[in-house]
Structure 1
Amino acid sequence: MPDTVRIASINVNGIRAAVRNGMLRWLDEADVDIMALQEVRATAEQLRAALPGWELINDEALAKGRAGVAIASRTPVTEVRRGFDGDGVDAAGRWLEVETDLGGTGLTIVSAYVHSGEVGTPKQEAKWAFLDAMEKRMPQLNAPGSHAVIMGDLNVGHRELDIRNWKGNVKRAGFLPRERAYFDRFFGPVGQTITGVDGSTGTGLGWVDVGRRFHGEIDGPYTWWSSRGKAFDNDTGWRIDYHVATPALAERVRGYWIGRAPSWDTRWSDHAPVVVDYAV
Protein backbone atom coordinates (compact mmCIF):
# COMPACT_ATOMS: atom_id res chain seq x y z
CA MET A 1 0.00 0.00 0.00
CA PRO A 2 1.35 3.50 -0.79
CA ASP A 3 2.30 5.79 2.09
CA THR A 4 -0.08 8.55 0.99
CA VAL A 5 -3.37 9.03 -0.79
CA ARG A 6 -3.59 11.96 -3.22
CA ILE A 7 -6.90 13.84 -3.13
CA ALA A 8 -7.81 16.69 -5.47
CA SER A 9 -10.59 19.26 -5.48
CA ILE A 10 -11.40 20.49 -8.98
CA ASN A 11 -14.02 22.89 -10.28
CA VAL A 12 -14.04 21.51 -13.82
CA ASN A 13 -16.31 24.21 -15.31
CA GLY A 14 -18.13 21.46 -17.23
CA ILE A 15 -16.63 17.97 -17.19
CA ARG A 16 -17.13 17.31 -20.89
CA ALA A 17 -15.38 20.53 -21.89
CA ALA A 18 -12.58 19.89 -19.37
CA VAL A 19 -11.93 16.43 -20.81
CA ARG A 20 -11.93 17.78 -24.37
CA ASN A 21 -9.40 20.40 -23.35
CA GLY A 22 -6.87 18.13 -21.66
CA MET A 23 -8.05 17.15 -18.17
CA LEU A 24 -7.26 13.45 -18.66
CA ARG A 25 -3.65 14.20 -19.58
CA TRP A 26 -3.33 16.21 -16.40
CA LEU A 27 -4.85 13.36 -14.36
CA ASP A 28 -2.36 10.86 -15.79
CA GLU A 29 0.52 13.11 -14.77
CA ALA A 30 -0.90 14.11 -11.38
CA ASP A 31 -1.58 10.50 -10.26
CA VAL A 32 -4.68 11.41 -8.26
CA ASP A 33 -6.49 8.75 -6.18
CA ILE A 34 -9.69 10.63 -5.27
CA MET A 35 -11.32 13.70 -6.81
CA ALA A 36 -14.03 16.03 -5.58
CA LEU A 37 -15.53 17.74 -8.62
CA GLN A 38 -17.71 20.83 -8.87
CA GLU A 39 -19.64 22.44 -11.73
CA VAL A 40 -19.83 19.04 -13.39
CA ARG A 41 -22.82 20.08 -15.56
CA ALA A 42 -23.49 16.51 -16.73
CA THR A 43 -25.71 13.51 -16.14
CA ALA A 44 -24.36 10.38 -14.47
CA GLU A 45 -24.11 8.72 -17.88
CA GLN A 46 -22.18 11.64 -19.34
CA LEU A 47 -19.88 11.68 -16.33
CA ARG A 48 -19.10 7.96 -16.70
CA ALA A 49 -18.30 8.47 -20.37
CA ALA A 50 -15.97 11.36 -19.54
CA LEU A 51 -14.11 9.56 -16.73
CA PRO A 52 -13.90 5.85 -17.54
CA GLY A 53 -12.35 3.57 -14.94
CA TRP A 54 -13.33 5.57 -11.87
CA GLU A 55 -15.92 4.76 -9.22
CA LEU A 56 -18.26 7.73 -9.60
CA ILE A 57 -20.87 9.21 -7.29
CA ASN A 58 -22.66 12.35 -8.44
CA ASP A 59 -25.40 14.76 -7.48
CA GLU A 60 -26.97 16.68 -10.34
CA ALA A 61 -28.48 20.13 -10.06
CA LEU A 62 -32.21 20.47 -10.67
CA ALA A 63 -31.54 22.81 -13.62
CA LYS A 64 -29.87 21.02 -16.52
CA GLY A 65 -26.42 22.26 -17.38
CA ARG A 66 -25.93 24.01 -14.04
CA ALA A 67 -23.79 23.28 -10.98
CA GLY A 68 -23.47 19.56 -10.16
CA VAL A 69 -20.96 17.90 -7.84
CA ALA A 70 -19.32 14.49 -7.95
CA ILE A 71 -16.69 12.35 -6.27
CA ALA A 72 -14.45 10.04 -8.30
CA SER A 73 -12.45 7.43 -6.44
CA ARG A 74 -10.01 4.59 -7.04
CA THR A 75 -11.12 3.04 -3.73
CA PRO A 76 -14.58 1.67 -2.91
CA VAL A 77 -17.20 4.03 -1.50
CA THR A 78 -19.24 2.55 1.35
CA GLU A 79 -21.88 5.22 2.00
CA VAL A 80 -23.37 8.19 0.13
CA ARG A 81 -25.30 11.21 1.41
CA ARG A 82 -26.65 14.07 -0.70
CA GLY A 83 -27.60 17.54 0.47
CA PHE A 84 -28.56 18.60 3.99
CA ASP A 85 -31.16 16.56 5.84
CA GLY A 86 -34.39 18.39 6.53
CA ASP A 87 -33.10 21.94 6.00
CA GLY A 88 -35.03 22.80 2.84
CA VAL A 89 -31.87 24.41 1.48
CA ASP A 90 -31.10 24.67 -2.24
CA ALA A 91 -28.33 22.06 -2.13
CA ALA A 92 -29.08 19.95 -5.23
CA GLY A 93 -25.84 19.58 -7.13
CA ARG A 94 -23.95 21.39 -4.36
CA TRP A 95 -23.25 19.08 -1.38
CA LEU A 96 -22.23 15.43 -1.66
CA GLU A 97 -20.77 13.26 1.11
CA VAL A 98 -19.22 9.81 0.78
CA GLU A 99 -17.50 7.43 3.15
CA THR A 100 -14.38 5.56 2.10
CA ASP A 101 -11.25 4.07 3.68
CA LEU A 102 -7.87 5.63 4.49
CA GLY A 103 -5.60 2.70 5.25
CA GLY A 104 -8.03 1.13 7.71
CA THR A 105 -9.37 4.45 9.00
CA GLY A 106 -12.78 5.74 7.93
CA LEU A 107 -12.65 8.88 5.80
CA THR A 108 -15.55 11.25 5.03
CA ILE A 109 -15.18 13.21 1.80
CA VAL A 110 -17.42 16.13 0.86
CA SER A 111 -17.59 17.82 -2.52
CA ALA A 112 -19.16 21.26 -2.05
CA TYR A 113 -20.09 24.03 -4.45
CA VAL A 114 -21.26 27.13 -2.60
CA HIS A 115 -23.47 29.60 -4.46
CA SER A 116 -21.56 32.49 -6.02
CA GLY A 117 -24.12 34.98 -4.70
CA GLU A 118 -24.92 38.52 -5.76
CA VAL A 119 -25.44 41.36 -3.30
CA GLY A 120 -29.07 42.41 -2.86
CA THR A 121 -30.56 39.55 -4.88
CA PRO A 122 -32.15 36.15 -4.14
CA LYS A 123 -28.83 34.58 -5.18
CA GLN A 124 -27.23 36.03 -2.06
CA GLU A 125 -30.11 34.86 0.12
CA ALA A 126 -29.56 31.34 -1.21
CA LYS A 127 -25.87 31.66 -0.37
CA TRP A 128 -26.61 32.72 3.22
CA ALA A 129 -28.95 29.74 3.63
CA PHE A 130 -26.34 27.36 2.25
CA LEU A 131 -23.60 28.71 4.52
CA ASP A 132 -25.99 28.39 7.48
CA ALA A 133 -26.58 24.75 6.57
CA MET A 134 -22.83 24.15 6.29
CA GLU A 135 -22.29 25.68 9.71
CA LYS A 136 -24.91 23.35 11.15
CA ARG A 137 -23.54 20.24 9.44
CA MET A 138 -19.82 20.74 10.06
CA PRO A 139 -19.82 20.03 13.84
CA GLN A 140 -21.56 16.73 13.14
CA LEU A 141 -18.63 15.69 10.91
CA ASN A 142 -15.96 16.84 13.37
CA ALA A 143 -16.23 14.41 16.24
CA PRO A 144 -12.95 14.06 18.18
CA GLY A 145 -10.46 12.02 16.15
CA SER A 146 -12.63 11.91 13.04
CA HIS A 147 -11.15 12.08 9.57
CA ALA A 148 -13.15 14.27 7.21
CA VAL A 149 -12.42 16.77 4.48
CA ILE A 150 -14.76 19.28 2.84
CA MET A 151 -13.44 20.21 -0.56
CA GLY A 152 -14.64 22.47 -3.28
CA ASP A 153 -15.31 25.84 -4.74
CA LEU A 154 -16.58 27.59 -1.61
CA ASN A 155 -16.87 30.95 -3.40
CA VAL A 156 -15.50 32.97 -0.48
CA GLY A 157 -12.03 34.43 -0.09
CA HIS A 158 -11.53 34.20 3.65
CA ARG A 159 -8.76 36.74 4.22
CA GLU A 160 -7.07 39.61 2.46
CA LEU A 161 -4.27 37.17 1.57
CA ASP A 162 -6.78 35.19 -0.47
CA ILE A 163 -7.59 37.86 -3.07
CA ARG A 164 -5.00 39.92 -4.91
CA ASN A 165 -7.36 42.89 -5.40
CA TRP A 166 -9.14 42.61 -2.04
CA LYS A 167 -9.68 46.36 -1.61
CA GLY A 168 -11.79 46.49 -4.75
CA ASN A 169 -14.00 43.59 -3.66
CA VAL A 170 -15.03 44.29 -0.06
CA LYS A 171 -18.60 45.07 -1.15
CA ARG A 172 -18.92 42.23 -3.64
CA ALA A 173 -20.12 38.67 -3.15
CA GLY A 174 -17.17 36.42 -2.43
CA PHE A 175 -15.45 38.85 -0.06
CA LEU A 176 -18.27 40.34 1.97
CA PRO A 177 -17.44 40.66 5.69
CA ARG A 178 -20.49 38.59 6.61
CA GLU A 179 -19.37 35.77 4.27
CA ARG A 180 -15.84 35.87 5.64
CA ALA A 181 -17.16 35.70 9.21
CA TYR A 182 -18.54 32.21 8.52
CA PHE A 183 -14.99 31.13 7.73
CA ASP A 184 -13.70 32.82 10.88
CA ARG A 185 -16.01 30.46 12.76
CA PHE A 186 -15.24 27.42 10.59
CA PHE A 187 -11.52 27.78 11.35
CA GLY A 188 -11.77 29.20 14.90
CA PRO A 189 -10.73 27.01 17.87
CA VAL A 190 -13.48 24.55 18.61
CA GLY A 191 -15.97 25.71 21.23
CA GLN A 192 -14.48 29.17 21.66
CA THR A 193 -16.40 32.38 21.07
CA ILE A 194 -15.22 33.88 17.79
CA THR A 195 -15.66 37.50 16.75
CA GLY A 196 -15.94 37.61 12.98
CA VAL A 197 -14.50 40.22 10.68
CA ASP A 198 -18.03 41.71 10.45
CA GLY A 199 -18.27 42.08 14.24
CA SER A 200 -20.62 39.14 14.72
CA THR A 201 -19.94 36.51 17.36
CA GLY A 202 -20.34 32.76 17.15
CA THR A 203 -18.75 29.46 18.11
CA GLY A 204 -15.53 28.17 16.58
CA LEU A 205 -15.89 24.84 14.79
CA GLY A 206 -12.23 23.81 14.85
CA TRP A 207 -11.70 22.89 11.20
CA VAL A 208 -8.37 23.47 9.44
CA ASP A 209 -7.78 25.44 6.23
CA VAL A 210 -5.15 23.08 4.81
CA GLY A 211 -3.88 25.52 2.20
CA ARG A 212 -3.34 28.36 4.65
CA ARG A 213 -1.69 26.10 7.23
CA PHE A 214 0.61 24.62 4.62
CA HIS A 215 1.65 27.87 2.92
CA GLY A 216 1.51 30.26 5.88
CA GLU A 217 1.08 34.02 5.70
CA ILE A 218 1.60 34.60 1.98
CA ASP A 219 -0.59 35.93 -0.83
CA GLY A 220 -2.56 33.06 -2.33
CA PRO A 221 -1.65 30.76 -3.87
CA TYR A 222 -4.72 31.49 -5.98
CA THR A 223 -7.07 28.95 -7.52
CA TRP A 224 -9.33 31.04 -9.80
CA TRP A 225 -8.73 33.94 -12.17
CA SER A 226 -11.23 36.17 -13.94
CA SER A 227 -11.38 35.99 -17.72
CA ARG A 228 -11.15 39.79 -17.82
CA GLY A 229 -7.94 41.47 -18.89
CA LYS A 230 -4.69 39.74 -18.01
CA ALA A 231 -5.79 38.37 -14.63
CA PHE A 232 -4.26 34.93 -15.19
CA ASP A 233 -1.02 36.24 -16.70
CA ASN A 234 -0.62 38.73 -13.86
CA ASP A 235 -1.75 36.22 -11.22
CA THR A 236 -4.52 38.56 -10.10
CA GLY A 237 -6.54 35.73 -8.63
CA TRP A 238 -8.75 34.50 -5.81
CA ARG A 239 -8.19 31.55 -3.47
CA ILE A 240 -11.74 30.20 -3.26
CA ASP A 241 -11.11 26.44 -3.67
CA TYR A 242 -10.31 24.66 -0.42
CA HIS A 243 -9.46 21.52 1.46
CA VAL A 244 -11.12 22.03 4.86
CA ALA A 245 -10.02 19.20 7.14
CA THR A 246 -10.73 17.97 10.64
CA PRO A 247 -7.72 18.38 12.95
CA ALA A 248 -6.96 14.65 12.94
CA LEU A 249 -6.87 14.54 9.14
CA ALA A 250 -4.94 17.81 8.89
CA GLU A 251 -2.14 16.19 10.87
CA ARG A 252 -1.80 13.68 8.04
CA VAL A 253 -1.09 16.30 5.35
CA ARG A 254 2.24 15.59 3.64
CA GLY A 255 1.97 17.87 0.62
CA TYR A 256 -0.22 20.57 -0.92
CA TRP A 257 -0.06 22.12 -4.37
CA ILE A 258 -2.12 24.06 -6.90
CA GLY A 259 -2.25 22.62 -10.41
CA ARG A 260 -1.98 26.01 -12.10
CA ALA A 261 -1.66 25.69 -15.87
CA PRO A 262 1.59 26.96 -17.38
CA SER A 263 -0.28 29.44 -19.59
CA TRP A 264 -3.75 30.81 -20.29
CA ASP A 265 -4.19 28.77 -23.46
CA THR A 266 -3.28 25.45 -21.80
CA ARG A 267 -5.98 25.67 -19.10
CA TRP A 268 -8.85 23.17 -19.19
CA SER A 269 -10.89 25.02 -16.52
CA ASP A 270 -11.02 28.54 -15.14
CA HIS A 271 -10.15 27.03 -11.74
CA ALA A 272 -6.94 25.21 -10.87
CA PRO A 273 -6.99 21.85 -9.06
CA VAL A 274 -6.11 21.87 -5.36
CA VAL A 275 -4.15 18.70 -4.57
CA VAL A 276 -3.23 17.32 -1.15
CA ASP A 277 -1.31 14.22 -0.12
CA TYR A 278 -2.56 12.63 3.10
CA ALA A 279 -0.62 9.97 4.99
CA VAL A 280 -2.32 6.57 5.03
Structure 2
Amino acid sequence: MLVVTSVNVNGIRAAAGKGFAAWLAGTAADVVCLQETRAQPEEVPAGLFDGWHARFAPCLSAKGRSGVAILSRAEPEAVRTGIDDDEFAGSGRYLEVDLPGVTVGSLYLPNGTVGTPKQDEKDRFLASFAPYLALRRAKAAAEDREVLVCGDWNIAPAEADIRNWRGNVANSGFLPHEREWLAGLFGGGWVDVVRAQHPGVDGPYSWWSYRGRAFDNDAGWRIDHHVATPGLGARARSAVVERAPSHAERWSDHAPVTVVYGP
Protein backbone atom coordinates (compact mmCIF):
# COMPACT_ATOMS: atom_id res chain seq x y z
CA MET A 1 0.00 0.00 0.00
CA LEU A 2 1.02 3.61 -0.63
CA VAL A 3 -0.89 6.39 1.12
CA VAL A 4 -0.35 9.86 -0.32
CA THR A 5 -1.77 13.13 0.97
CA SER A 6 -1.65 16.52 -0.71
CA VAL A 7 -2.53 19.82 0.96
CA ASN A 8 -2.04 23.54 0.39
CA VAL A 9 -1.12 24.69 3.92
CA ASN A 10 -1.56 28.43 3.20
CA GLY A 11 1.67 29.19 5.11
CA ILE A 12 3.41 26.41 7.01
CA ARG A 13 4.29 28.58 10.01
CA ALA A 14 0.73 29.74 10.51
CA ALA A 15 -0.75 26.29 9.85
CA ALA A 16 1.61 24.63 12.35
CA GLY A 17 0.14 26.68 15.17
CA LYS A 18 -3.46 26.16 14.09
CA GLY A 19 -3.55 22.38 13.99
CA PHE A 20 -1.36 21.17 11.15
CA ALA A 21 1.27 19.86 13.57
CA ALA A 22 -1.31 17.66 15.29
CA TRP A 23 -2.70 16.49 11.96
CA LEU A 24 0.78 15.57 10.69
CA ALA A 25 1.59 13.70 13.89
CA GLY A 26 -1.52 11.56 13.42
CA THR A 27 -1.52 10.94 9.67
CA ALA A 28 -1.00 7.45 8.29
CA ALA A 29 0.34 8.83 5.00
CA ASP A 30 3.58 7.53 3.54
CA VAL A 31 4.03 10.72 1.52
CA VAL A 32 2.72 14.23 2.20
CA CYS A 33 2.90 16.83 -0.55
CA LEU A 34 2.70 20.43 0.67
CA GLN A 35 2.00 23.60 -1.27
CA GLU A 36 2.17 27.31 -0.48
CA THR A 37 4.58 26.74 2.39
CA ARG A 38 5.69 30.40 2.21
CA ALA A 39 8.91 29.66 4.09
CA GLN A 40 12.56 28.85 3.58
CA PRO A 41 13.60 25.46 5.04
CA GLU A 42 15.28 27.12 8.02
CA GLU A 43 12.05 28.97 8.82
CA VAL A 44 9.98 25.80 9.35
CA PRO A 45 9.08 25.47 13.05
CA ALA A 46 11.66 23.37 14.88
CA GLY A 47 10.76 19.69 15.14
CA LEU A 48 7.70 19.95 12.89
CA PHE A 49 9.03 17.45 10.36
CA ASP A 50 10.84 15.15 12.78
CA GLY A 51 10.62 11.55 11.60
CA TRP A 52 10.14 12.53 7.97
CA HIS A 53 12.53 12.89 5.06
CA ALA A 54 11.72 16.48 4.05
CA ARG A 55 12.61 17.99 0.69
CA PHE A 56 11.90 21.61 -0.20
CA ALA A 57 11.54 23.89 -3.20
CA PRO A 58 11.04 27.34 -1.65
CA CYS A 59 10.40 30.49 -3.62
CA LEU A 60 13.79 32.16 -4.03
CA SER A 61 12.62 35.19 -6.00
CA ALA A 62 10.13 36.47 -3.41
CA LYS A 63 10.50 35.17 0.12
CA GLY A 64 7.25 34.48 1.92
CA ARG A 65 5.53 33.45 -1.31
CA SER A 66 4.65 30.10 -2.91
CA GLY A 67 6.93 27.18 -1.97
CA VAL A 68 6.36 23.42 -2.10
CA ALA A 69 7.69 20.49 -0.11
CA ILE A 70 7.46 16.71 0.03
CA LEU A 71 7.62 14.65 3.22
CA SER A 72 8.24 10.93 2.89
CA ARG A 73 8.73 8.06 5.30
CA ALA A 74 11.31 6.53 2.95
CA GLU A 75 14.37 8.46 1.86
CA PRO A 76 14.05 9.64 -1.76
CA GLU A 77 16.26 8.03 -4.36
CA ALA A 78 16.45 11.32 -6.29
CA VAL A 79 15.08 14.87 -6.02
CA ARG A 80 14.33 17.39 -8.80
CA THR A 81 12.97 20.94 -8.73
CA GLY A 82 11.36 23.03 -11.43
CA ILE A 83 9.85 22.25 -14.82
CA ASP A 84 12.84 22.91 -17.09
CA ASP A 85 11.75 26.50 -17.74
CA ASP A 86 14.08 29.32 -16.72
CA GLU A 87 11.18 31.67 -16.01
CA PHE A 88 9.95 29.43 -13.20
CA ALA A 89 13.31 28.35 -11.81
CA GLY A 90 13.37 29.16 -8.12
CA SER A 91 9.68 30.08 -8.12
CA GLY A 92 8.69 27.39 -5.59
CA ARG A 93 6.13 25.86 -7.93
CA TYR A 94 7.24 22.27 -8.44
CA LEU A 95 9.26 19.56 -6.72
CA GLU A 96 9.44 15.83 -7.34
CA VAL A 97 11.09 12.86 -5.68
CA ASP A 98 11.77 9.34 -6.83
CA LEU A 99 10.60 6.68 -4.40
CA PRO A 100 10.62 2.91 -5.03
CA GLY A 101 8.57 2.37 -8.19
CA VAL A 102 7.00 5.85 -8.29
CA THR A 103 7.88 9.49 -8.89
CA VAL A 104 5.80 11.84 -6.74
CA GLY A 105 5.49 15.54 -7.55
CA SER A 106 4.17 18.44 -5.46
CA LEU A 107 2.69 21.22 -7.60
CA TYR A 108 1.54 24.74 -6.78
CA LEU A 109 0.25 25.96 -10.12
CA PRO A 110 0.00 29.77 -10.40
CA ASN A 111 -3.30 31.35 -9.44
CA GLY A 112 -4.26 33.78 -12.17
CA THR A 113 -6.52 36.81 -12.34
CA VAL A 114 -8.24 37.51 -15.64
CA GLY A 115 -6.91 40.54 -17.48
CA THR A 116 -3.73 40.84 -15.41
CA PRO A 117 -0.09 39.71 -15.73
CA LYS A 118 -0.89 36.98 -13.19
CA GLN A 119 -3.10 35.23 -15.75
CA ASP A 120 -0.41 35.61 -18.41
CA GLU A 121 2.06 33.99 -16.02
CA LYS A 122 -0.35 31.13 -15.35
CA ASP A 123 -0.87 30.55 -19.06
CA ARG A 124 2.88 30.48 -19.69
CA PHE A 125 3.26 27.92 -16.90
CA LEU A 126 0.58 25.74 -18.48
CA ALA A 127 2.36 25.96 -21.84
CA SER A 128 5.61 24.73 -20.27
CA PHE A 129 4.19 22.21 -17.83
CA ALA A 130 2.32 20.01 -20.32
CA PRO A 131 5.45 19.07 -22.31
CA TYR A 132 7.38 18.64 -19.06
CA LEU A 133 4.79 16.11 -17.88
CA ALA A 134 4.98 14.28 -21.19
CA LEU A 135 8.75 14.04 -20.91
CA ARG A 136 8.63 12.93 -17.28
CA ARG A 137 6.04 10.26 -18.12
CA ALA A 138 8.17 8.93 -20.98
CA LYS A 139 11.28 8.76 -18.82
CA ALA A 140 9.39 7.06 -16.01
CA ALA A 141 7.96 4.48 -18.40
CA ALA A 142 11.47 3.69 -19.60
CA GLU A 143 12.43 3.11 -15.96
CA ASP A 144 9.31 1.02 -15.29
CA ARG A 145 7.97 3.45 -12.73
CA GLU A 146 4.68 5.29 -12.23
CA VAL A 147 4.20 9.06 -11.84
CA LEU A 148 1.89 10.92 -9.46
CA VAL A 149 1.58 14.72 -9.47
CA CYS A 150 -0.29 16.03 -6.44
CA GLY A 151 -1.07 19.57 -5.51
CA ASP A 152 -3.03 22.74 -5.90
CA TRP A 153 -3.62 22.80 -9.64
CA ASN A 154 -5.80 25.95 -9.39
CA ILE A 155 -8.14 24.61 -12.08
CA ALA A 156 -11.53 23.02 -11.51
CA PRO A 157 -12.05 20.49 -14.31
CA ALA A 158 -15.83 20.65 -14.73
CA GLU A 159 -19.12 22.06 -13.48
CA ALA A 160 -19.34 19.33 -10.83
CA ASP A 161 -16.13 20.68 -9.32
CA ILE A 162 -17.48 24.10 -8.27
CA ARG A 163 -20.61 24.63 -6.23
CA ASN A 164 -21.27 28.02 -7.92
CA TRP A 165 -19.92 27.25 -11.37
CA ARG A 166 -22.32 29.60 -13.17
CA GLY A 167 -20.89 32.55 -11.27
CA ASN A 168 -17.32 31.60 -12.12
CA VAL A 169 -17.34 30.94 -15.86
CA ALA A 170 -15.30 34.11 -16.47
CA ASN A 171 -12.92 33.66 -13.54
CA SER A 172 -9.46 32.17 -13.46
CA GLY A 173 -9.55 28.57 -12.38
CA PHE A 174 -12.62 27.83 -14.48
CA LEU A 175 -11.78 29.52 -17.78
CA PRO A 176 -12.53 27.45 -20.89
CA HIS A 177 -8.93 27.33 -22.06
CA GLU A 178 -7.74 26.22 -18.60
CA ARG A 179 -10.27 23.40 -18.47
CA GLU A 180 -9.39 22.41 -22.02
CA TRP A 181 -5.73 22.23 -21.04
CA LEU A 182 -6.54 19.95 -18.10
CA ALA A 183 -8.92 17.86 -20.20
CA GLY A 184 -6.07 17.39 -22.66
CA LEU A 185 -3.98 15.80 -19.92
CA PHE A 186 -6.79 13.49 -18.87
CA GLY A 187 -7.60 12.66 -22.46
CA GLY A 188 -3.94 11.92 -23.03
CA GLY A 189 -3.87 9.14 -20.46
CA TRP A 190 -3.33 10.89 -17.14
CA VAL A 191 -5.90 9.91 -14.51
CA ASP A 192 -7.86 12.31 -12.30
CA VAL A 193 -7.75 9.92 -9.36
CA VAL A 194 -10.22 11.66 -7.05
CA ARG A 195 -12.86 12.00 -9.76
CA ALA A 196 -12.36 8.37 -10.76
CA GLN A 197 -13.11 7.42 -7.16
CA HIS A 198 -16.12 9.76 -6.96
CA PRO A 199 -17.88 9.59 -10.34
CA GLY A 200 -21.10 11.42 -11.07
CA VAL A 201 -21.23 13.58 -7.93
CA ASP A 202 -20.59 17.21 -7.07
CA GLY A 203 -17.17 17.63 -5.45
CA PRO A 204 -15.74 16.48 -3.18
CA TYR A 205 -14.50 20.04 -2.77
CA SER A 206 -11.07 20.75 -1.32
CA TRP A 207 -10.96 24.57 -1.10
CA TRP A 208 -13.40 27.03 0.45
CA SER A 209 -13.00 30.80 0.61
CA TYR A 210 -12.57 32.31 4.05
CA ARG A 211 -15.15 34.91 3.03
CA GLY A 212 -18.75 34.60 4.11
CA ARG A 213 -20.08 31.14 4.99
CA ALA A 214 -18.49 29.25 2.08
CA PHE A 215 -17.18 26.45 4.29
CA ASP A 216 -20.37 26.07 6.32
CA ASN A 217 -22.42 25.92 3.11
CA ASP A 218 -19.89 23.66 1.35
CA ALA A 219 -19.62 26.26 -1.43
CA GLY A 220 -16.21 25.05 -2.51
CA TRP A 221 -13.96 24.21 -5.43
CA ARG A 222 -12.23 20.94 -6.30
CA ILE A 223 -8.81 22.19 -7.35
CA ASP A 224 -6.47 19.93 -5.35
CA HIS A 225 -5.80 16.91 -7.54
CA HIS A 226 -3.95 13.62 -7.65
CA VAL A 227 -2.98 13.17 -11.30
CA ALA A 228 -1.48 9.75 -12.01
CA THR A 229 -0.21 7.58 -14.80
CA PRO A 230 -2.75 4.87 -15.68
CA GLY A 231 -1.03 2.00 -13.87
CA LEU A 232 -0.99 3.86 -10.57
CA GLY A 233 -4.43 5.35 -11.11
CA ALA A 234 -5.85 1.84 -11.48
CA ARG A 235 -4.39 0.95 -8.10
CA ALA A 236 -6.33 3.65 -6.22
CA ARG A 237 -8.53 2.11 -3.55
CA SER A 238 -10.01 5.21 -1.90
CA ALA A 239 -9.84 9.00 -2.10
CA VAL A 240 -10.90 11.19 0.82
CA VAL A 241 -10.96 14.92 1.41
CA GLU A 242 -10.15 15.38 5.09
CA ARG A 243 -12.60 18.20 5.67
CA ALA A 244 -12.36 19.87 9.09
CA PRO A 245 -15.31 19.25 11.43
CA SER A 246 -15.99 22.99 11.69
CA HIS A 247 -14.84 26.35 10.37
CA ALA A 248 -13.07 27.09 13.65
CA GLU A 249 -11.00 23.89 13.37
CA ARG A 250 -9.56 24.68 9.95
CA TRP A 251 -5.82 25.29 9.67
CA SER A 252 -5.91 26.19 5.98
CA ASP A 253 -8.46 27.27 3.40
CA HIS A 254 -7.68 23.93 1.71
CA ALA A 255 -8.25 20.44 3.13
CA PRO A 256 -5.90 17.46 2.81
CA VAL A 257 -6.71 15.12 -0.07
CA THR A 258 -5.64 11.55 0.76
CA VAL A 259 -5.55 8.60 -1.62
CA VAL A 260 -4.75 4.99 -0.78
CA TYR A 261 -2.99 3.13 -3.61
CA GLY A 262 -2.91 -0.62 -3.51
CA PRO A 263 0.02 -2.87 -4.41
The 3-state SS of whatever aligns with 1:167 is helix
Give the letter aligned to residue 187 of structure 1. F
The match for 2:116 is 121
Moved segments of 4+, more than 4 Å: none
Q: How does 1:195-210 map to 2 (within 5 A)?
A: 205-210=188-193
Unaligned residue ranges in structure 1 (runs of 5+)? 189-204
Q: Give per-residue Cα distances to partners, 1:77-116, cap 9 Å, x unaligned.
A: 011111122x233252001111011xxxx21011000111
Cα deviation for residue 134 of structure 1 reads 1.4
Unaligned residue ranges in structure 2 (runs of 5+)? none
The match for 1:6 is 3
Structure 1, 28-37 or 156-165: larger mean CA deviation = 28-37
The match for 2:58 is 60
Identity among equivalent positions (%) equals 49
Cα deviation for residue 29 of structure 1 reads 3.1
CA-atom RMSD in angstroms: 1.3
The match for 1:182 is 181
Cα deviation for residue 172 of structure 1 reads 0.6
1:212 to 181, 195, 208: 195
Report whether the alignment pairs 1:234 with 2:229. no
Report whether the alignment pairs 1:46 with 2:25. no
Report whether the alignment pairs 1:89 with 2:87. yes
Give the letter aligned to residue 57 of structure 2. D
The 3-state SS of whatever aligns with 2:22 is helix
Q: How does 1:1-280 map to 2 (within 5 A)?
A: 4-47=1-44, 49=46, 50-61=48-59, 62-85=61-84, 87-91=85-89, 92-101=91-100, 106-143=101-138, 144=141, 146-188=145-187, 205-280=188-263
Cα deviation for residue 68 of structure 1 reads 0.2
Measure, in 2, the Cα distance between the counterparts of 1:84 and 1:239: 24
Aligned 8 A contact 1:90 1:126 in 2: no
TM-score of the pair, normalised by structure 1: 0.88
The 3-state SS of whatever aligns with 2:217 is coil
Aligned 8 A contact 2:13 2:45 in 1: no
Give the letter aligned to residue 215 of structure 1. H
Measure, in 1, the Cα distance between the counterparts of 2:21 and 2:214: 25
Measure, in 1, the Cα distance between the counterparts of 2:207 and 2:15: 15
Cα deviation for residue 33 of structure 1 reads 1.4
